[in-house]
A and B are shown apart, each in its own frame.
Chain A
């Protein structure tokens, strides 16, 4: 019995320790130092060390708008548009109001090789409304607003029902109705966020150039070529290839490793 118990405990302990080691790879103080050191390397024109520092923080599980912005900006300075767009897009996912990230992203897009003919931005249509809404608003804030208003409205109604002798039952009813009315648009925006994020998988081409094929194999014919920094929509995945769609509607298959999703699943 005892050997069995010891084996069981050991079996539980080792993964715990291993998990603990991964989780404690960088303490917040160490992360801050790493960030500053990377900044200094950037100032000293040592781009390699700078990028390595930022990537190290990402691998340790850190993130945030500032880190993604700095990394994207440094990639942009080096002319590596794919990763620049990727990280700047991620920065905007964290903070849609980040003017610096948006400015640098626009700069990167202007530097892009691919100019999409018939793309909504070319025709003046711009992104779909839902996508624009998602990119310009914070899903977490709207979800939180919905949650709070919805919970308050429900609680007010329940309280009204339970407290039959309460003098201000009418006030409770009004408060509940107001909260539920306000919760409604918040819920709609939240639902849009959920839909776009869960259904729409945007990615960025991160290699200098890649042929887009008709099927998920190397043997398929290449119909056109895309270059780094181009934002695509991932529709499907098969056999190590991803079916992507460009903003102008063109579709095709590219190797999975040549495009990186902006929001990993």
Chain B
């Protein structure tokens, strides 16, 4: 029977219900079952919200009255659908009734403030309710009439009255079927069933430091889609969306205030504060589709907003280096690479400067390449690639310079430095590159000159870059020094060149001096032999002077001197026997030994008995002495070298 009624109702509605939406009549009122009560008694507050069934609940925001003078003991909600026929076309109305059991906190006049309903841009309020609370009990509770809602003072005439209830109100199955059929029966998600939360991972951050904003949807109802996502302006921030689910969002089970929900990540953004102070992040507005209908896609579109959040942006601490740029906050690395570093004049050098790390890559200021004398640097090409690494926004920026040397020689690409503030370490740091030396060769030959000017010509196909007119280019770097005179004019040249010769001369002189001051054994011997012969000459002179005693003494000394030289040993004072033995030991022949002994005896006799000597005798003695010396000169005697004179 209820099913037949539902079918009839369908046909009736199809004929009567317009294609467009009905007038959005709203009823919103609050009532209490009494306006006077005792302190220990309870009160029932009823809040009714009635809307057209086909109008939808988009843009609806309901806030039940909050009664600080009362304690809420319980809440309940009910819903019903009614058929209304009024001045406009007939329609079904959905009514929700919220019932709260309240108990006063104190005696006196307690106020229940108005509830608030925002629906389709219009705001409706219930009236404030005043309840008199006495210390004791009250005999009969008063019943308050519901004040009309502020937007719609009266309900339309409903000749069918509770037709919907009559048809299906007593039959839960029928009611359910009607609800399913008309797509309005599912309970609408309240704020506690579906809400948005904006999370900031920090409450404080330095200027330029990344803060992550995540927007989550918490739901206890079926979410079928996200139809509208409206981010606020984010004044005072630079933002980069880092996580935006595109096609389909998937929820994960979670709890919030102890209640189970499904949580959906709708957006994650990296925010970089641009100014110091308290920065407010306005609510994010999202339109969410919920619910399901068999015939009409009656999924509700609900609008929700996040709460307003704020961030305390701190100014950067003092002590920034002079070259520091404010946007350079994060953790950065800087490197430089030049290729090639040995070129011919006219060939370019590519310089690549890479900046990478974590921070606002779009805002960080790269160090500029300073002017390099003798080198033309063209504007760099920029290549940026952002990346998210462990939740940190950053990436890599590459600047490529084309450098053209204008002169041969050597130059240096200077070191570059990036000063930045590390918010993690809370200190200023510097990332720098190494200086890069580059050598430019002149190249071979001269290209054909070009007409006009003295500008550096472009590189010829051979790679040699010369100035106009075929002239080799200037040198960028020069070895400046005060020219010194030629080496041969330096004061040290002549002395060093003469030194070996002088050294030789000195050594030779020293040798001569030494030999004269310290005669050797051989020289001593030669000296003695010479002396002996000189004595014989003296003896001859004495012979002629007829001085026999002196003659014989001289001959004797000459012979002794000669023997000392030949024997390399002193012989003065030796007896004849010792002298003979010495001569024999040295290997002298016996007749020589006898001759020497006899001659010495003759000299002794002549000295001591000079009267018997004649000139002829002295002549013979002299000849004997000379003859003996000659014989001894030719004899080989084994001798011991004389000791050097001390």
Contact = CB atoms under 8 A, between A and B. Distances in A.
Interface residues of A, number: 49
B479 A143 contact: no
Contacts of A57: 480
Given A100-B472, A154-B499, A155-B500, A147 B482 contact: no
A64 B470 contact: no
Contacts of A107: 446, 469-471
Nearest to A139: B486
Interface stretch (B252-260, B271-279, B328-336, B501-509): B501-509
B487 A157 contact: no
Interface stretch (A2-10, A33-41, A231-239, A252-260): A33-41
8 contacts: A28-B480, A66-B480, A73-B471, A100-B472, A103-B442, A150-B496, A154-B501, A190-B488
Interface string A60-94: 01111111011001101100000000000000001
A74 B560 CA distance: 96
A154 B475 contact: no
- A-B pairs, top 5 by smallest CB distance, nearest first, are A154-B500, A66-B478, A63-B483, A143-B487, A100-B472
Nearest to B508: A161
Nearest to A65: B479
A151 B492 CA distance: 12
A99 B442 contact: yes
Nearest to B481: A64
A162 B475 contact: no
Contacts of A151: 496-497, 499-500
Contacts of A200: none
A39 B474 contact: yes
Nearest to A71: B474
A17 interface: no
A31 interface: yes
Contacts of A67: 478, 480
A158 B503 contact: yes
Contact of A43 (B374, B470, B482, B497): B374
Nearest to B409: A66
A73 B478 CA distance: 14
From A61, A65, A107, A153, name the one whose CB has the most chain B CB atoms within 10 angstroms: A107
A32 interface: yes
B480 A147 contact: no
Contacts of B480: 28, 31-32, 35, 57, 62-64, 66-67
Contacts of A127: none
B448 to A, nearest CB: 13
Contact of A162 (B406, B470, B507): B507
A139 B487 contact: yes
Contacts of A40: 373
A40 B477 CA distance: 12
Given A35-B478, A64-B479, A154-B503, A193 B488 contact: yes
Contacts of A162: 507
Contacts of B409: 66
A248 B407 CA distance: 37
Interface string B13-27: 000000000000000
A224 B497 CA distance: 47
A225 interface: no
Nearest to A144: B487
A61 B480 CA distance: 10
B507 A39 contact: no
Given A43-B374, A77-B469, A64 B475 contact: no
A100 B408 contact: yes
B504 A157 contact: yes
Interface in A147-206: 147, 150-151, 153-155, 157-158, 161-162, 190, 193-194, 197
Contacts of A218: none
A103 B467 CA distance: 12
A197 to B, nearest CB: 7
A64 B446 contact: no
Contact of A158 (B407, B486, B500): B500
B476 interface: yes
Contacts of B477: 66
From A45, A63, A100, A104, name the one whose CB has the most chain B CB atoms within 10 angstroms: A100
A121 interface: no
Nearest to B468: A77
A147 B478 CA distance: 29
Contacts of B478: 35, 64, 66-67, 70
Contacts of B499: 151, 154
A104 B497 contact: no
Given A62-B480, A62-B481, A104-B472, A161 B507 contact: yes
Given A62-B481, A143-B488, A194-B488, 9 more contacts: A35-B480, A42-B474, A62-B482, A73-B473, A77-B469, A94-B483, A99-B442, A107-B446, A107-B470
Contacts of B446: 103, 107
B486 A140 contact: yes
B499 to A, nearest CB: 6
Interface in B370-388: 373-374
Nearest to A111: B469
Contacts of A146: 497
